[in-house]
Structure 1
Amino acid sequence: MTEQTWTPLEIEAEQAGGAQELVDRLTALGGELDSLLVQEKALVFRGFDVPADDLDDVLGVVLPRRLAYVHGNSPRTKVGGNVYTSTEYPPEFTISMHNEMSYAYAWPARLAFYCQIRPGGGGATPVLDAARWLESLDDEVREAFAGGVRYVQNLHDGYGLGKSWQATFETDLQEEVERFLDGTGAIWKWKGDGGIRVESVRPATTRHPVTGAEVWFNQADQWHPAGLGDDTAAALAQILPEDELPQNVTFADGSPIPEAYVAQIRDRGLEHAVDVDWAQGDLLLIDNVLLAHGRRPFTGNRRVLVAMSD
């Protein structure tokens, strides 16, 4: 296995910076922006010091068709027109590597991260070549996942562990949830307590539509109870049976995924990731199929926003 040599392409401000210089440079690239992102996998725009009030102008160029975070599984807050806070887990925790919504029927093609408040310490966004992630796994693990994975969600009706179905699907109407799920190949049913159970079988890898590269593309390690850590998983097991957990994952045939596989996937992803450190006003644009991302622990008041597009 070759050593990791890839890093994102950094693009520095040349003049006074600011949103207008960045918009002008992005606009000048035109259609070349798409090919540059595929070639480089990630672009980091530094020194432009984009103010939060001007973020929409920049996102209008890099993400012309911003998507809502419908069927998203992580806790976050909507702060603008399809702009969200990044995952709101406590700062002392690492968020392991993942491609955004790789568990879903459809996923965003690209993501933009914007640093509104620089963390006091730590808080990098690690990014990982997803083809290298796949390559780094033992043959035994890759072969075990060849048939795909089954994701299971138990979404409550406003009170319970995990996210509610209202927050997950950004609606209070059951018929809108049903209409969304009917087009995804998922199996779902409403429960007597007002919640909903959703099961979806998805592949463990996918291929990039332009390069054809095969990449590791699932969130088995994040959905598996073992990915929560021993103490949290043990506490949840005392509260709920496995089939009632807010989210869970098995192999496609329903057989359990060994904890050792989960640990290998998580650890090798983090091992091969490249950290993107933040300064206030920085922007990171990534290809969501070619790259996975995560979050390092931090101190202080880190605030990173994220938006997605097809």
Structure 2
Amino acid sequence: MEDSVNSDGWKPCELDPAGAGVAANAEGLVDCLRAAGDLGDLLAREKAVVFRGFGVQEHTLDQVMDLLLPNRLAYVHGNSPRTKVGKNVYTSTEYPPEFTISMHNELSYARRWPARLLFFCAKAPATGGATPVVDGARWLEALDPEVRQAFAGGVRYLQNLHDGYGFGKSWQDTFETDAREEVEAFLAESEADWKWRPDGGLWVSQLRPATVRHPVTGAEVWFNQFDQWHPAGLGDETAAELSAILPQDELPQSVTFADGSPIPGEYAVQVRDRGLEAAVDVDWREGDLLLIDNVLVGHGRRPFTGARRVLVAMSD
């Protein structure tokens, strides 16, 4: 199946060696990128770009990343399970292959988020495994006015990070450090509320906007991950059972309206489902790369079979 097109006709721009007039290898892609000029302008215009047929491999990836991601960032305060495999290069979310990962913008719950994301397909899945991408403005428009209005005050994200043993991620894994003072400095700069728990764990509360405007285009986009933090938006039985066993204030992560009041489950289901419905699937072939503007475009993952290996890195 080729990349799909959503109902508005948008899909990621696709570049290949023949169209760019360069060699079908990593060096050819480097030549293409150097000739392209300002990639920021390209991304603001196209929102997402797929590079196909350049034969990039893991050992030739760094030279491409250096151009696509000028300031590669660590995945600090990230909430999804990943493995670091290189210089601020990570596996994509390590989530059972039979489940869908709903649409989201990376680190939208954080004080600062990456401007760009780059995905690289080191090994294509046997079946499925597309990365769906959604135009954030289209996602916002797809929601009922009642839902959009309900989130005018923003979203409050709550985390309980254990000290090495427990459900979810530890605070050490989340912040890529075992120094409390570094975590405290990060959270203070992030304007988050936090407290250390008697068992050594960490409680964090953050108030974030539900929508933002792109700094270049001015487009207003749906930009939050509340549905992924809400029990009603969880798609696997283990997570649902966990929310039934533990009170909300002990869940690894949970979410409320800005004032602390509960968010109706039907809101989470609507946001999740309409984001997926508005998305465009990018199907993977080995060596493909996908560069997205992390504000203009949300992303997710379709279920798959086989040994899918997609790496991800990010940049400001």
Other structure's SS at 2:254 match = strand
Say whether 1:153 aligns with 2:159. Answer: yes
Say whether 1:187 aligns with 2:185. Answer: no
Compute the displacement of 1:37 (Å): 1.1
Other structure's SS at 1:293 match = strand
Deviation per CA, 1:13-44: give whole Å up to 9, x if none: 1254111000011011122x211111000000
Say whether 1:283 aligns with 2:289. Answer: yes
Say whether 1:28 aligns with 2:32. Answer: no
Compute the displacement of 1:238 (Å): 4.1
Say whether 1:12 aligns with 2:16. Answer: yes
Match for residue 124 of structure 1 among 123, 130, 134: 130
Contact kept in structure 2, 1:43 and 1:285, CA below 8 Å: yes
Gaps of 5+ in 2: 1-5
Q: Distance in 1 between matches of 2:155 and 2:74?
A: 25
Say whether 1:95 aligns with 2:101. Answer: yes
Q: Indicate the larger mover: 226-235 or 181-190.
A: 226-235
Could you tell me which residue of structure 2 aligns to residue 136 of structure 1? 142
Deviation per CA, 1:227-253: give whole Å up to 9, x if none: 124844542134311111000000000
Q: Distance in 2 between matches of 1:268 and 1:179?
A: 37
Q: Indicate the larger mover: 219-228 or 90-99.
A: 219-228
* Structure 2 CA distance for partners of 1:299 and 1:177, relative to 1, 3 Å: same
One-letter amino acid matched to 1:21: G
Deviation per CA, 1:63-92: give whole Å up to 9, x if none: 010000000000000000000000000000
Percentage identity across paired residues of the two chains? 71
- Moved beyond 4 Å, runs of 4+: none
Say whether 1:111 aligns with 2:111. Answer: no
Say whether 1:220 aligns with 2:226. Answer: yes
One-letter amino acid matched to 1:55: L
One-letter amino acid matched to 1:8: P
Other structure's SS at 1:113 match = strand
Say whether 1:53 aligns with 2:42. Answer: no
The 5 A counterparts of 1:230-269 are 231-269=237-275
Query: Number of aligned pairs?
Result: 308
* Structure 2 CA distance for partners of 1:301 and 1:203, relative to 1, 3 Å: same
CA RMSD of aligned residues (A): 1.2
One-letter amino acid matched to 2:229: W
* Structure 2 CA distance for partners of 1:238 and 1:260, relative to 1, 3 Å: closer
Q: Indicate the larger mover: 11-20 or 176-185.
A: 11-20
Compute the displacement of 1:285 (Å): 0.4
One-letter amino acid matched to 1:7: K
Taking structure 1 as the reference length, the TM-score comes to 0.97
Q: Distance in 2 between matches of 1:7 and 1:237?
A: 36
Contact kept in structure 1, 2:23 and 2:29, CA below 8 Å: no
Contact kept in structure 2, 1:18 and 1:51, CA below 8 Å: no
Say whether 1:201 aligns with 2:176. Answer: no
Other structure's SS at 1:116 match = strand
Contact kept in structure 1, 2:226 and 2:268, CA below 8 Å: yes
Could you tell me which residue of structure 1 aligns to residue 3 of structure 2? none
Other structure's SS at 2:181 match = helix
One-letter amino acid matched to 1:5: G
Other structure's SS at 2:118 match = strand
Gaps of 5+ in 1: none
